[in-house]
Structure 1
Amino acid sequence: MTMPEEDTSTTRALRGLESGSPSVRLRAALTVGTAPDPRFVDRLVERCAVEPEFHVREMLTWALTRHSSSRTVPKLIDELRSERAQARSQALHTLSKVGDRHAWPAITRALLTDADDEVARSAWRAAVVLVPAGEKSALAAVLATQLGRGGRETRLSLSRALIALGEVITPTLRAAMADADPRVRLHAIATERLLTDPDAGFESAIEEAKRVVALGGTGQEG
Structure 2
Amino acid sequence: MLIGEVARRSGVSARMLRHYDSLGLVRPTGRTGSGYREYSNEDIRRIFHIESLRSLGLSLREVGRALDDPGFTPATLVDDLIRHTRARIAAETELLTRLRRIGAAEPAGWEDVLQTVALLQALGSESAGRRQRAALSSVSEVPAPVEALVEAVLNETDPNVAGALRWALAQSGDAGLALLAAGLDAPVAEVRRRAVQSIAEIPGDAATALLRHALANSDVVVRRYAALALGARGVTDAVPTLIDMIVEEANDVDAADALSVLASDAALADQIATRLVDRLAHGTAESSARQRLAQALADIPGPAASRALAELSADEDRAVALTAAYIRKLRDAR
Instruction: Using structure 1 for the length normalisation, give the TM-score.
Output: 0.75
Relative to structure 1, the CA distance from residue 24 to residue 175 in structure 2 (aligned partners, 3 Å threshold; closer, same or farther) is same
Write the deviation string for residues 62-116 of structure 1: whole angstroms up to 9, x where unpaired. 11011132x12222222111122232222222222212222333333334x7333
8 Å CA contact 1:48, 1:90 repeated in 2: yes
8 Å CA contact 1:148, 1:155 repeated in 2: yes
The equivalent position to 1:162 in structure 2, one of 253, 259, 270, is 259
Q: Rg bigger for which structure?
A: 2
C-alpha separation in 2, matches of 1:212 and 1:194: 23
Relative to structure 1, the CA distance from residue 190 to residue 51 in structure 2 (aligned partners, 3 Å threshold; closer, same or farther) is same
8 Å CA contact 2:291, 2:320 repeated in 1: no
The equivalent position to 1:79 in structure 2, one of 183, 191, 203, is 183
User: Could you say which residue in structure 2 is the equivalent of 1:51?
Assistant: 156
Structure of greater relative contact order (alpha carbons < 8 Å, 6+ residues apart): 1
8 Å CA contact 1:177, 1:185 repeated in 2: yes
User: Could you say which residue in structure 1 is the equivalent of 2:279?
Assistant: 176
Letter in 1 for 2:182: D
C-alpha separation in 2, matches of 1:104 and 1:212: 41
More displaced, 44-53 or 179-188?
A: 179-188
Task: Find out whether 1:28 has 2:131 as its counterpart.
Answer: no
Letter in 1 for 2:226: A
State the Cα RMSD in Å. 2.9
Deviation at 1:61, TM superposition (A): 0.6
Q: Name the % identity.
A: 21
Gaps of 5+ in 2: 1-108, 264-268, 302-312, 329-334
8 Å CA contact 2:290, 2:320 repeated in 1: no
User: Could you say which residue in structure 2 is the equivalent of 1:96?
Assistant: 200
Relative to structure 1, the CA distance from residue 79 to residue 213 in structure 2 (aligned partners, 3 Å threshold; closer, same or farther) is farther
SS of match in other structure, 1:99: coil
8 Å CA contact 1:101, 1:131 repeated in 2: no
C-alpha separation in 1, matches of 2:138 and 2:176: 14
Deviation at 1:185, TM superposition (A): 1.4
SS of match in other structure, 1:49: helix
Relative to structure 1, the CA distance from residue 59 to residue 35 in structure 2 (aligned partners, 3 Å threshold; closer, same or farther) is same
Gaps of 5+ in 1: 197-208
Write the deviation string for residues 29-60 of structure 1: whole angstroms up to 9, x where unpaired. 111122464x5211111111221111100000
C-alpha separation in 2, matches of 1:181 and 1:62: 42
8 Å CA contact 1:29, 1:60 repeated in 2: yes
8 Å CA contact 2:227, 2:238 repeated in 1: no
User: Could you say which residue in structure 1 is the equivalent of 2:95?
Assistant: none
C-alpha separation in 2, matches of 1:81 and 1:131: 25
8 Å CA contact 2:232, 2:262 repeated in 1: no
Write the deviation string for residues 172-216 of structure 1: whole angstroms up to 9, x where unpaired. 1121222333243122111111335xxxxxxxxxxxx9x994446
Letter in 1 for 2:113: D
Aligned length: 196
Letter in 1 for 2:243: A
User: Could you say which residue in structure 1 is the equivalent of 2:90?
Assistant: none
User: Could you say which residue in structure 1 is the equivalent of 2:220?
Assistant: 115
